[in-house]
Amino acid sequence: MLNLKEHPQRRYNPLTGEWVLVSPHRLSRPWQGQVEDTAQEQRPAYDRDCYLCPGNLRAGGVRNPRYTSTLVFDNDYAALLPGTPADTINERDLLIASGEPGICRVVCFSPRHDLTLSEMSVPEVRAVVDVWVEQYRELGARSEVNYVQIFENRGAMMGASNPHPHGQVWATLDLPNEVVKEQQGFTKFRMAHGNCLLCEYQKLEESSGTRTVCGNDHFYVVVPFWAVWPFETLVLAREHVSDFGGLSNEQRDSLSAILIRLTSIYDQLFRAPFPYTMGFHQTPTDGNSDHEWHLHAHFYPPLVRSATIRKFMVGYELLGMPQRDITPEVAAERLRAAAGHVKRWPAAARSEIPPG
């Protein structure tokens, strides 16, 4: 019989309809590749050369206000522009392109240059969550915006151009590829089973506990069965909430607390501040989506085996399909072990799930 701990296997992702190759027997493989310098990064609370710090001049020539909590502004070097014509070019169904108007904004999480989410308080992160809710509602209400993508790149390894704590909001006319795949996954599951894919998946994971990392009254963290990144996690709303607009005050506090808890666990397992890409998926704002969506966030850290070794998609992963050596079960076990050494435990996260 197939042994998930030993045998090479394919695992199916019902959200995207794609497969990932898992090779647990390769964990004993020696490593002689690139090793990263992960020396602790020392940063001041205020950096006069940082274009995101309060009162400083940004690259685009605008001076930041002396903000004391969060700051939102249109990206000075936006990847999307609101005035772009949405025309389509099609030459014999071979050369196809369409204009993509949109809006890109930056969200500074704190005036402090030296903080990360894991080092902020629940009220401080709650202020960030409130901004995300406001941006989702404001941008999503525009007729030319059909999807609002909220995300954070942390660390130079993940392409962050500035260490100041900040994230981004991109509002687009068309639904991004991953969102389209997830919407198809949600719809397919509901048509086949009559209920929500992630509601049922959460029940299944909690009954096992094998891949559980942590949780509180309103949010639950798991290493997904189909994970691709070495220590990838999925943050799920416990109740069936489709988007930020449906979060209560209590749920916003719980989301703030679980983000602090999870990033603190990552800091413990690796070294603070660890690199990652994080982003939320939720209901598109195109008016065509019903409530099959379930609010969730993806965390994608590139570090593997130790804080010094990273892994991106190469070789067979680019040409064939994603492949991983560390199984989701092993990753979850290591994250839970790290959680036991984390001293910061926000009050809103005290109902943490014990290891399964």
Of the residues 166, 218, 281, 294, which is catalytic? 166
Question: Beta strand 18-22 with 323-324: parallel, antiparallel or unpaired?
Answer: parallel
Q: Is 166 a catalytic residue?
A: yes
Residue 213: in which H helix or E strand, if any?
strand 212-215
Q: How far apart are the first and last CA of the chain?
A: 24
Q: How far apart are CA 151 and CA 167, in angstroms?
A: 6
Q: Is the CB of residue 43 less than 8 Å from the CB of residue 210?
A: no
Q: Which residues contact 106 (CB under 8 A, 6 or more apart)?
A: 52, 71, 72, 73, 74, 75, 166, 167, 168, 169
Q: Which residue has the tokens 């993806």?
A: 298
Q: How far apart are CA 69 and CA 71, in angstroms?
A: 7
Q: How far apart are CA 181 and CA 59, in angstroms?
A: 36
Active-site residue numbers?
166
